[in-house]
Amino acid sequence: MTDIKAIWQDETLEPNKRKLLEAALVEFSAKGYERGSTNQIVQNAGVSKGMLFHFFGNKKGLFLAIVDACIERFFAYIQTRMEAAPEDFFARFLHVNHAKMALFAEEPAIYQMAVATFFDYPEECRAEIEDREAQFNARYLPLFLDQVDTSLIKAQFDPQKALHFLLSAVEALTQKYVRENYDASDKGFAHVQSFFAELESYMEMMKVGLYKQSDSGA
C-alpha cells in the first residue's frame, strides 16, 4: 500500500478529516469515482457519514479533495528533484521520467488515482477535472521547456514546436498504454516501468531526427 501519510503532511489537519482522506484515496484509486463507495470509505475511516458531509459536502467534494492532494504531492515531489535537472531537453525528459517512476514506486495510489481521474473522466466531475487538467499542464510543461537548451535542434525546426510535438507524442503513447491496462486491478502499474523504458527508446529515435548530425551520431 502507498505511504499515504506522505500526501497529507499538515500536522494541524483534523484527525477525522485525515482518516477520511486516507480511506478515500485507497477507495477511489482502486475503484475510481463511479464505483467508489462512500459507505466503504467511512467504514474504513472509522467515522460517521455525517463527518464526510461536514468536511467535504458530498462524494464529489471528497473526490476532488483527493485529486487536489495528489496533484500537489506530485509537484512537490518532482520539484525537489528539478534543481539537478539537465538543460538538454532529452536528458531532462529522462530526468523527469525517472522522478515520476520513483514517486509512483513509493506511492502507487497516486499513479492509480491519476489514471482513474484524467483518463476516465467521471461525468459528474467533468468540468472540475478538465479545469484541473488545464492547471496541471500549465505547471507540468514548464518542467520540460523552461531554461531548456535547444541549440542542438536542427535549424529547420522550430524548437518550441518540436518540443511540444514530442510531449504530445508521449501523451498519445501514454493514453494508449492506459487504455490497454485500465481493467487491470492496478491499472497497469506492475508494467509501468517497462512502459517508461519503451518511451525512452522512442525518445532516442526522435532525438536522432531532431538533433544536428554531429551530436546525434547520424
Q: How far is 167 from 96, CA to CA, in rounded Å?
A: 12
End-to-end CA distance of the chain: 46
Q: What is the pTM of this model?
A: 0.82
> What pLDDT does residue 47 have?
96
> What pLDDT does residue 8 have?
65
Residue that is written with C-alpha cell 498519445 in the block: 172
Distance of CA 146 to the CA centre of its chain: 19
> What pLDDT does residue 193 have?
78
> What pLDDT does residue 214 have?
60
Q: How far is 75 from 149, CA to CA, in rounded Å?
A: 22
> What pLDDT does residue 97 have?
83
Distance of CA 44 to the CA centre of its chain: 25
> What pLDDT does residue 7 have?
65
Q: Which domains does the chain have, with CATH numbers?
A: 4-216 (1.10.357.10)
> What pLDDT does residue 102 have?
87
Collect the ranges in the chain with pLDDT lower than 70: 1-10, 214-218
Using CA atoms, how far residue 93 sits from 14, 78, 97, 134, 161, in Å, is 38, 12, 6, 20, 16
> What pLDDT does residue 23 have?
95
